Amino acid sequence: MAAENSKQFWKRSAKLPGSIQPVYGAQHPPLDPRLTKKWGFTMLPMLVSNSRTQVISLPWPPNVLGLQSFIKERSKVNTVPLKNKKASSFHEFARNTSDAWDIGDDEEEDFSSPSFQTLNSKVALATAAQVLENHSKLRVKPERSQSTTSDVPANYKVIKSSSDAQLSRNSSDTCLRNPLHKQQSLPLRPIIPLVARISDQNASGAPPMTVREKTRLEKFRQLLSSQNTDLDELRKCSWPGVPREVRPITWRLLSGYLPANTERRKLTLQRKREEYFGFIEQYYDSRNEEHHQDTYRQIHIDIPRTNPLIPLFQQPLVQEIFERILFIWAIRHPASGYVQGINDLVTPFFVVFLSEYVEEDVENFDVTNLSQDMLRSIEADSFWCMSKLLDGIQDNYTFAQPGIQKKVKALEELVSRIDEQVHNHFRRYEVEYLQFAFRWMNNLLMRELPLRCTIRLWDTYQSEPEGFSHFHLYVCAAFLIKWRKEILDEEDFQGLLMLLQNLPTIHWGNEEIGLLLAEAYRLKYMFADAPNHYRR
């Protein structure tokens, strides 16, 4: 009885979306025994209309003539037309996919029904020809798979820019430094994916600095070592990027964490770090109390999701540091509390302040090699600099997130003025700006850019007045228009959203960010002081 109930359950559940379907190949009998008698088929899944998968049988060994006659016979029987039209708007998308959940639980599988017999003969012939070609290649040249691996590394990477060329060299240098057994186990894949590379063009592994870069670095050192650092001049020098060697102290100064007077800096750092760990002693044990459990639980869930491709952030000690930083900030800011997305904002500060103690690339660095005092300094500095940043955009994270709502609306108005064609394209396919730009505002583009690009971007944000709130709007507008060709090429709702949520920035580096910031500055210069430009 139990066996029958189990069988009935799986029969009923077989058509549910997302359920596991049986896969029939040469080692399994086909679904229709009548076809086996005539042809001796193997099964090939074919995608037909509206996300349904039809399984067709192909003759094995391959017989092209038999296959063509078989498809002609099947195409005569087919009477139900295919739905080739893609959903062009959100409402069409919803209508076309709503029937996926209307399947009755008690229905039996009927593979002889017209919907399962629908087959596009042209698609089937093209796919079958491809299968036959692949099989013939495997039979004629079985040794090709061995020779291919030796040919791939030479043409392995597509260089998109000078920034990518530098990153590619860094990745190849890393592979050469790794033990031989690692190269053998993963011959075509670097240890760290390109998207996870934190190093910029001035990081270790890069070629020697040019004369211009050395001059800039010397200018920074003169500014930072003066009795009273000229913050205006420091912002001016930092706008096109801060050299890696002086970035930690520059960020502390530009964020307002350190005073401009050099004599006061040491005492200020000591006092602020002690103050932070005083908060730890006072508040951190309350994370297990009932009224703080939800906050701590959400933080605990989000931390492992932070930059999952970078091993640095998957170390337990680093995750504990992040948990303390975020929990203390949430306790001290009850108006907003912790909101998903704030966890991303810690990572650039943590990496920059860690680089003060680490000369090599930090993405693989084991933080347990640092002393306790170093880790405490990195943690406290990350907390205070993140707090300074969030003080300027806290309305992004209060109830209903009004700051983000206003910024997304401003982005829509700005795009409608600077590129009406893109704006009308979104309206035509019912794409709302909130559907893709909410994340841009909530995470400050950190989910759209590699971390190395975010660090370079924040050099400029901290140099701009209201960089994280006001200037970020123009960066988002420039970022959107950067992809105008790809946007206009998409002619349906799903395609547009898939593009905007997965923009191809994996190869980006300092050069691309510099061009993006230059365009954003141009837009700001044209529109920020001319509010009438927003009006139609």
Burial 51-80 (b: 16+ CB within 10 A, else e): eeebbbbbbeebeeeebeebbeebeeeeee
* Cα–Cα distance, 251 to 463 (Å, whole number): 9
Choice among 131-145, 228-242, 324-338 with the minimum mean pLDDT: 131-145
41 phi, psi to nearest 5 deg: -90, 155
* Cα–Cα distance, 338 to 281 (Å, whole number): 19
End-to-end CA distance of the chain: 72
Residues in the chain, total? 536
Task: Report which of 430, 516, 524 is spatially closest to residue 474, judged by C-alpha positions.
Answer: 524
pLDDT in tens, 391-414: 999 999 999 999 999 999 999 999
pLDDT in tens, 58-98: 444 444 445 555 555 555 444 444 444 555 666 666 666 54
pLDDT in tens, 105-126: 444 444 444 444 445 667 777 7
More confident residue, 172 or 256: 256
Residue 291 banded pLDDT, cuts 50, 70, 90: confident
Instruction: Indicate the average pLDDT of the chain.
Output: 76
Task: Report which of 47, 120, 45, 55 is spatially closest to residue 82, judged by C-alpha positions.
Answer: 120
Q: Per-residue pLDDT for 356 more than 90?
A: yes
